[in-house]
Structure 1
Amino acid sequence: MSPSEASLQRVMQRANISSQRALAEKANVSRWQVQQLRQGNIDAMRLSVLKKMAMALDCSLADLLQTFDPARSENVSDAEAGASVTAEVHPENKVTSDATSEAALLRQEYTRLEKRLEQQSHSLRHQFQTDALQVLESWLTYWPTAAKAAMERDDFDAKKLLPLVKPVDRLVASWGVTVMGRVGEQLAYDPQQHQLTRGTANAGDPVRISHVGYRHGESLLQRVKVVPLNPD
């Protein structure tokens, strides 16, 4: 039995509710909502549904959240505590206090949902970039070499194509993709950063870059392709 299922049974016993169906009927919510609570998915449930279930279970919303979602309950407890003090000092203002409490709870719920949407947006944006980079992988690998050949041969009309791909360069740069090395550059072989296209080499041996590599933020997207300067 999961912790959330055990917690639900415990609070139902305290409220003398015999079954999950009975809880759904008493709270006037769907059995699916009760299943969500039983499975521990309280973070995905609407505040209005949780309030109905708390009333049916003869406990406060804060107590219900404390049982199933302690982190979320802290904000709700603060809001309810403030309203409770106001009601005790000025009983005639109970209606106003209830409205204030409701507004505070709604603000807390809005903030929580806003943060969740922001996190989901960031995750989707990163996934989109990853998918696009996979599509561009072949171009990223071979274009710098082709561009170098076009620039070094005066009779190679492909130079006219270079301006056409600048938007792609700007696109990947805006995603935080940085180029590693320059085609033709000579440097010491680093097995962590370089990939031999032929021959063998030990760490520190001189090699020449045949195809540049790429980083995406802090992650290595593609190692630099190199060839030994002194092949065996």
Structure 2
Amino acid sequence: MRATAAVLLVLCLLTVSHAWDCQEVVNIKNLMQIDAGLGQVVATDTSQIPYYLVGDKWIRLPGSLKHITVGPAGIWGVNKDYAIYKYVAGNWVKAEGLLKQLDAGGEQFIVGANMNDTPFCLTRSATVGYKGPGSPLPWTGLPGAVKYYSCGPFGCWAVNKNDDIYLMSLNQDCQNNGWSHIDGKLSMIEVATDGSVFGVNSAGQVYTRDGITASKPEGTGWSHVSTCMHMKHVRAKLQNYVII
């Protein structure tokens, strides 16, 4: 999907054949990136304007961001200079550190990757307690190199510059046992609030991971999802609501 294309909402449950019916969301064009969590949807456009979806209306948020995320950890974003911000009481509050991408989908902790593809984690206590300058922000560096990183209730998924896929068990204190390689190739990957995993490959094809449970967070395999066009970015929202 080109950056100038309208965002599409997939408003149905996946069928046995993993086919979707796509419906265009009105009054929004030129989206670059979109994220969803806990029933909320946020996005940024090609002018780096952030938005929040209320019903079927996009509400402009203040500031300028190239990446935005929403989830149990709140609403966070990064700008073109990689500066990090948290949305607090209607305003963006600058946070310490530099990241190119971040995700708020974990159990109230934040993960992200910097310009060198180094992954980081911010603990739940630091994330929830952050109100502005002066609040501690002990970013924890993690092993490996990732270009895109997303977390859910059963683990954190990431892809590297070679489109290799990895899974990490990460708790609210950023403790982990390292990365486990997962079969397949994806250029970006996202995890829903219910643990569902979706990804897009370099050809714009969408896949979902089957068999994910708390006892088997790696799942059992990939299924191709038939879509109405080639995609660049996919984001899962709850169990039956996928945003592309």
Larger radius of gyration: 1
> What TM-score do you get using the length of structure 2 for normalisation?
0.21
Greater fraction helix: 1
TM-score, normalising length: structure 1: 0.22
**Greater percentage in strand:** 2
Bigger RCO of structures 1 and 2 (CA < 8 A, at least 6 apart): 2
